């Protein structure tokens, strides 16, 4: 059914497929900014492929998006923008411009910076991050999420969110040695819990990715494919992970996701391949090997069949991702 890799043993898949997906949740390529901004200030954030979040330790702070207009963020509020949608933060809705140009930005190392705007107005203390998800399994889930998720909106559904927000407030208000690292770890956990809360609060559906990951059988196979797309996933192996016969598994998989396991896995591999090739510093042959193909040629044929371009074209036109600077 699929190209073979040298790996033959199936990884262990627990019953809770969402936990399996979230198990590898890590934020990588992170850029954080601790901001001390005096009113009036305003910073525009353009659309990007990375996830963003903003935590307000102390306001005033307002958030603007094209879809929802201006929203006031209060002390202790955290907003998660899963798709990095275009938005603006400001001390008041009527403040325009791009204050970052006039700020002092100090590099504190480890992709953490301090952003300061002097003045006589009220001080806003923010902790902002720009990040990519280290868990490839989360990509389909992130694509389904709304443009903005507010921590306060889901705090009632998760008893841990409230105390986490309070802890971040205390850490950001009185920074000490290692505060950036502590805040980073808390942001990791908080983002994962916000994503899980959103999934749990989303209405049930009989088809699509969320329905598949919730299915007690299909979800286990889906999580397995996303965690290790280069594994030698035959129909027999996937059905075994799902705990079903081949025919029942294949029929159920297609009914929920609208395509068979082989087609889904092939598209998943090519999506992952595009990301690897776009990072630079990795050869087409190495990508092919990581994704379970016996040869570079067989991988290249599959890649072009599914994406309509060659691996070499993607590698030449994406010579590595530049670091995302705060506010850029």
pLDDT digit string (tens) for 93-114? 999 888 888 899 888 766 778 8
User: Given this model, what pLDDT does residue 202 score?
Assistant: 74
Q: CATH no. for residue 249?
A: 1.10.10.60
Does residue 130 sit in the same domain as residue 189?
yes
User: Given this model, what pLDDT does residue 245 score?
Assistant: 97
CB 92 within 8 A of CB 40: yes
Average pLDDT, integer, range 244-265: 95
Q: What is the DSSP string of 269-296?
A: HHHHHHHHHHHSS--HHHHHHHTT-S-H
CA angle 322, 178, 100 (to 5 degrees): 45
Question: Who's near 251: CB < 8 A, 6+ residues apart?
Answer: none
Does residue 213 sit in the same domain as residue 186?
no
Does residue 259 sit in the same domain as residue 121?
no
CB 86 within 8 A of CB 327: no
User: Given this model, what pLDDT does residue 280 score?
Assistant: 72
Residue 83 has pLDDT above 60, yes or no: yes
Residue 62 has pLDDT above 80, yes or no: yes
Does residue 142 sit in the same domain as residue 222?
no
User: Given this model, what pLDDT does residue 210 score?
Assistant: 84
Average pLDDT, integer, range 225-247: 94
Please state the pTM of the whole predicted model. 0.69
d(CA 152, CA 145): 17
Q: Which of 183-197, 207-221, 265-279, 295-309 holds the top average pLDDT?
A: 295-309
- Locate all alpha helices (DSSP H) within the chain, ordered by sequence: 17-23, 139-144, 151-154, 161-173, 179-201, 209-214, 218-227, 235-242, 246-257, 261-279, 284-290, 296-307, 311-317
User: Given this model, what pLDDT does residue 291 score?
Assistant: 93
Q: Please state, as a whole number, how many other Cβ atoms lie within 10 Å of the Cβ of residue 70.
A: 13
Q: Select from 327, 320, 288, 283 the least CA-distant residue to 304.
A: 288
Q: How does residue 5 score in pLDDT terms, banded at 50, 70 and 90?
A: very low
User: Given this model, what pLDDT does residue 25 score?
Assistant: 57
Domain limit, last residue, from 154, 186, 201: 201
Q: Select from 237, 140, 273, 266 the least CA-distant residue to 195.
A: 140
d(CA 260, CA 264): 6
User: Given this model, what pLDDT does residue 134 score?
Assistant: 57
Report CA-CA distances (Å) from 244 to 79, 185, 235: 41, 38, 11
User: Given this model, what pLDDT does residue 304 score?
Assistant: 94
Q: CATH no. for residue 131?
A: 2.60.120.10
| Low-confidence winner among 36-40, 69-73, 166-170, 204-208 (lowest mean pLDDT) | 204-208
Does residue 223 sit in the same domain as residue 102?
no
Query: Phi/psi class of residue 84: alpha, beta or left (left: φ > 0; alpha: ψ in -120 to 50)?
Result: left
CA angle 268, 215, 257 (to 5 degrees): 40
Q: How does residue 27 score in pLDDT terms, banded at 50, 70 and 90?
A: low
Q: Please state, as a whole number, how many other Cβ atoms lie within 10 Å of the Cβ of residue 283.
A: 12
Q: Select from 222, 257, 258, 255 the least CA-distant residue to 241.
A: 222
Does residue 134 sit in the same domain as residue 261?
no
Range of the domain at 111: 25-201
Confirm whether 10 is domain-assigned.
no
Domain limit, last residue, from 142, 169, 201: 201
- The domain total for the chain is 2
The percent of residues in the chain predicted with pLDDT above 70, rounded, is: 83
Q: Select from 207, 242, 201, 212 the least CA-distant residue to 18.
A: 212
- Write down the residue that tokens 């998006």 correspond to: 65
User: Given this model, what pLDDT does residue 146 score?
Assistant: 87
Average pLDDT, integer, range 269-287: 86
Mean predicted lDDT score pLDDT of the chain:
82
Q: Are strands 112-117 and 27-38 parallel, antiparallel or unpaired?
A: parallel
Does residue 252 sit in the same domain as residue 267?
yes
d(CA 190, CA 184): 10
Rg for the chain (alpha carbons), in Å?
Answer: 22
């Amino acid at each position: 059914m699929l190209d073979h890799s040298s790996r033959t043993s199936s990884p262990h898949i627990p019953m809770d497929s969402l936990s399996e997906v979230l198990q590898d949740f890590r934020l990588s390529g992170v850029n954080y900014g601790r901001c001390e901004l005096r009113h009036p200030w305003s910073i525009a954030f353009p659309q990007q492929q990375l996830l963003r979040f903003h935590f307000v330790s102390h306001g005033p702070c307002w958030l603007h998006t094209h879809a929802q207009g201006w929203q006031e963020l209060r002390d202790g509020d955290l907003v998660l923008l899963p798709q990095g949608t275009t938005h603006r933060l400001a001390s008041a809705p009527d403040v325009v411009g791009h204050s970052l140009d006039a700020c002092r930005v100090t590099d504190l190392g480890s992709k953490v910076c301090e952003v300061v705007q002097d003045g006589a107005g009220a001080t806003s203390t923010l902790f902002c991050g720009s990040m990519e998800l280290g868990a490839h399994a989360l990509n389909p889930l992130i694509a389904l999420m709304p443009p903005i998720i507010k921590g306060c909106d889901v705090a009632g559904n998760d008893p841990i969110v409230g105390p986490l927000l309070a802890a971040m407030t205390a850490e950001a208000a009185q920074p000490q040695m290692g505060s950036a690292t502590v805040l980073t770890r808390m942001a990791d956990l908080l983002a994962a819990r916000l994503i899980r809360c959103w999934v749990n609060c989303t209405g049930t559906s009989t088809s699509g990715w969320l329905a598949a990951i919730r299915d007690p059988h299909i979800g286990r196979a889906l999580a397995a494919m996303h965690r290790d797309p280069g594994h030698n996933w035959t129909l027999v192996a996937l059905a075994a992970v799902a705990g079903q016969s081949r025919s029942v598994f294949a029929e159920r998989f297609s009914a929920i996701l609208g395509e068979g396991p082989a087609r889904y896995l092939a598209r998943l591999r090519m999506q992952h391949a595009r990301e690897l090739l776009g990072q630079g510093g990795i050869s087409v042959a190495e990508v092919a090997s990581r994704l379970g193909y016996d040869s570079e040629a067989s991988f290249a044929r599959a890649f072009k069949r599914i994406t309509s371009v060659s691996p070499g074209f993607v590698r030449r036109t994406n010579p590595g991702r530049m670091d995302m600077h705060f506010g850029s």
